[in-house]
Amino acid sequence: MKKFTPLLLPILALAACGEEPAPEPVETVAPEPVVELAAPDQALFTELLANACPNAEPVNTAICRRAMGSDEALCEYGLGEDEFLRNDATIAVDDTGENWMIVDAEAVCAQ
């Protein structure tokens, strides 16, 4: 035991003296919240078309397809009694980034 004692004292002394002051806290900025839009579906498209084209027949069926990460979606739809997807429209994220809107609503309403 006496042989180990002289070796332990310098190691303990170095360990006690080697403490560095803690780094100053860095001020962090809170990340901006990411708005997640609902996937475009028949209910959403029905509402968008009713708001954009109040005189149009109601949407009977609709399918919207969106490429991964895209700000636009292509919707094919049928109006009134029509169960076939005869019409199409492009919807896009609006300027606020929080809602969908029909691109070129005048042309869509004219269909």
Taking phi first (over 0 means left), then psi (-120 to 50 degrees means alpha), and beta for anything else, what does residue 104 get?
Answer: left
Nearest Cα to 88, choosing from 70, 110, 69, 67?
Answer: 110
Neighbour-count burial of 110, counting CB atoms closer than 10 A to its CB (0-12 exposed, 13-18 middle, 19+ buried): exposed
3-state helix, strand, coil in the chain (%, to 5): 25, 25, 50
- Listed as ranges, residues in the chain with pLDDT below 50 are none
Predicted TM-score of the model (pTM):
0.66
Count the Cβ atoms, other than its own, within 10 Å of residue 95: 8
pLDDT of residue 7: 65
Nearest Cα to 70, choosing from 45, 32, 100?
Answer: 100
pLDDT of residue 63: 95
pLDDT digits (tens, 9 = 90+) for 52-67: 999 999 999 999 998 8
88: β partners = 76
pLDDT digits (tens, 9 = 90+) for 85-101: 999 999 999 888 889 99
Neighbour-count burial of 42, counting CB atoms closer than 10 A to its CB (0-12 exposed, 13-18 middle, 19+ buried): middle
